Chain A
Amino acid sequence: MGIPSHLSAGDIEEFGREMDAIRNEVMDSRGDRDRAYILRVIRWQRSLALGGRIVMFISLLALPLSGLPYAGWPQFLVVLALGSIMLGIAKIIENMEIGHNVMHAQWDWMRDPNIQSNTWEWDNVCPSDQWKHSHNVVHHTWTNVIGKDPDIGYGVLRVTPVQHWRPKFLAQPLINFFLNILFQWGVAIHDLEVDKILEGEKSLASVRPMLRRIVWKASRQLLKDYVLWPALGALLTLPAALVLQVNPAAVALAAFLLVAGGNMFANLMRNVWSNVIIFCGHFPSGVHHFSKQDVEGETRARWYIRQLLGSANIGGGKLFHVLSGNLSHQIEHHLFPDMPSNRYPEVAPRVRALAARYRLPYNTASLTRQFGSTTWTIWRLAFPGGRIKAATA
């Protein structure tokens, strides 16, 4: 664990200088093509989100209740699922390739007033200001330092044997499942540090303002997905129901519930997917953890090494990288959190080569492998013990 001992202090500083050189070179070359990239992604994402909602409305025409020709449950469900998947993908891109990265200030250099980290709000129940605190400030600064990084098991899971086992961890396979399907809610309450409140380290009163903001944000999210859009869908069925002389109330109610269900599926898709990608960034086997002593008087170069050792990449194609918000390049993201995400694929080979030269591990594998080892770790560590399997080069 900790910083590998085969490197002298001088080696480490030299490694840091080389890493800085990569960073500065890329940051200096940011320009029109990067701007064009993010604008294109934003345009596509918004069109896909709106398109998905419209397709869901179109599916209502095939509701068997309508009695229209071609209506029928299979036809209806296929179209509804299509709309819902479109919306789900739009939400994934919005949260990951756009929201997460914009809030990391990756696009602030453009000085575009519409794409700024300090004003961006994302399509997620977690208020963006709380996310920026728990994620950018705390997690990215203290990555994988036991007792400092709240993202090590998110305060509810035991993801490294270094964490002391307690009976509550026996439930973690179940907790992991719920965290997976309800991920955005877990993210929303993360900054409250519920575990500390339960253990009496933190008072409930101290988090009341944050709680109020979460309620404010979540209520708007819920209103949109589970009241407004379903209600609009229901409303749109009314004229058709009157013309076709079917019971308008029954059709409207069905439309409301089905659109709400489609939206829920889209949110579920986003929850599951983002949870999988994020867990695979820090919890697969081979990832290093650090003690508070390891980071005392830490230089920037040592910080780089900690980020490299504390993160894991996932291999995949171009579309996969975009859908994962380029967090499949978790290592590069942790080394250069404010570098535009579209540049991670091009710096990855350079980072990997640099790591190899200094005989440092570079943890990358397929999604199946990383997710498999993450899941295995979580199941295994529900029980006492466990072996530390820090990767070496």
Chain B
Amino acid sequence: MQPVDNPSWLTRLGDAFAWPLRTSHYLELVNPLWTTHALQARVEKVWDETADARTITLRPGRNWRSHRPGQHLRIGVPIGGMHYTRTYSISSAPEASDELITITVKAITGGRMSHHLVRNIKPGDHLPIGVPQGDFYLPDANPVQPLFISAGSGITPIISMLRSLVAQERLPDVVHLHYAPHAYDVIFGNELRALAARHPQYRLHLLYTREPGAAPTAAAAGRRHFSAEQLGEVCPDWRDRDVFACGPQGLLDALESHWDRAGLSRQLHSERFRAQVAATPAQVSSGTVRFARSGVVASSDGVVNLLRLAEDHGLNPAHGCRMGICHGCDAVLKSGCVRDLRTNAMLNEADQIVQICVCAAAGDAELEL
């Protein structure tokens, strides 16, 4: 997805032949993995982990650089002709020698991308990807005693860390709390249990939030969600550990306030799988519009078009026809939701281009203006 900066003189010469394209656009005709103008990956394999979660094995193209366990990448997928971009944690370890990476996706009810990835994607497809990003990873140097807390698909960055530690043969003393609704919903369940059986220093606690009777450990029985007592029981030395947590908002909020109260927030590292699309309000609704570049904030009634709104607040965005024809007013929607006044279509994908003369805010929105 990201173009690569600082090309060598040879690349630049080649690109001058291909102008206004790049040599890479022609290489793409032969093999999409050779491109440098846009990084792509080929789907090599798909594997169902549970009824609604699937691991997708990807072969990234030439400009890929190895990730740190815990990092994520952006993936773009065309669905119905339209690109959607979402973020997924890499679940494989960078030590894997086959130059392949995996992501593990859980289908969310009503989710556009997760459903498509879990149900429709097939080997041989090419997907645009970004390079690894994020600062949720284990420090390389100093030995840490981690406490991993994960829930649901939040296991993905954690399994990457575990796999990497095992591959490097430096698995330290680890406590791992993982929450899932039922035993059969545990993504990587068998691998985790096998790991625990093989490495005594890895202590796994699987906690089932919907079926207390089936919990394998006595300590977890009867307790469903995270609580201070539960933590004290399964990991009495939690104060001495560096915590790496990933899961739904509720869990992470609870963890943050717990570690905050203990005055240990610096030891808590968390990764939020926050949603990347704004909710679409059912009817016309007022909200706040932020014009990011100018820092202007305006309140909208949900009816006035964004061009008018910007002008009323002293901005002077480029425009032409003011009636949705010329695209002279195109602007990037950074976040939030806007409504196309012609069709009432809701536009809520981050970083998409919207025509501000024929769109009004639907709730809150942020525009690159």
Contact = CB atoms under 8 A, between A and B. Distances in A.
Contacts of A114: 37-38
Contacts of B17: 224, 228-229, 232
A141 interface: yes
A33 B78 CA distance: 12
Contacts of B224: none
A193 interface: no
Interface string A1-37: 0000000000000000000100010011011111100
Interface string B34-48: 000110000000000
A303 B326 contact: no
Interface string A104-122: 1100111111101110011
B108 interface: no
A220 interface: yes
Interface residues of A, number: 47
Contacts of A138: 320
B29 A338 contact: no
B327 A108 contact: yes
B349 interface: yes
B330 A224 contact: no
Interface stretch (B80-88, B142-150, B167-175): B80-88
A60 B323 CA distance: 54
Secondary structure at the B interface, as helix, strand, loop or mixed, is: loop
Interface in B40-67: none
B287 interface: no
Contact of B321 (A43, A46, A137, A232): A137
B343 A35 contact: no
B327 A220 contact: no
Interface in A85-100: none
Given A118-B330, A136-B326, A337-B325, A111 B83 contact: yes
Contacts of B78: 32, 35, 110, 112
26 contacts: A28-B345, A31-B80, A43-B29, A50-B26, A104-B327, A105-B330, A108-B327, A108-B353, A109-B82, A110-B78, A110-B81, A110-B83, A111-B83, A111-B349, A113-B1, A113-B83, A114-B38, A116-B353, A117-B353, A118-B353, A137-B320, A140-B321, A221-B19, A224-B17, A303-B325, A338-B327
Interface of B: 1, 16-17, 19-21, 25-26, 29, 37-38, 76, 78, 80-84, 128, 320-321, 323, 325-328, 330, 342-343, 345, 349, 352-353
Smallest CB-CB A-B distances: 5 pairs: A137-B320, A35-B81, A121-B20, A111-B83, A105-B327
Interface of A: 20, 24, 27-28, 30-35, 43, 46-47, 50, 104-105, 108-114, 116-118, 121-123, 132-133, 136-138, 140-141, 220-221, 223-224, 228-229, 232, 300, 303, 337-338
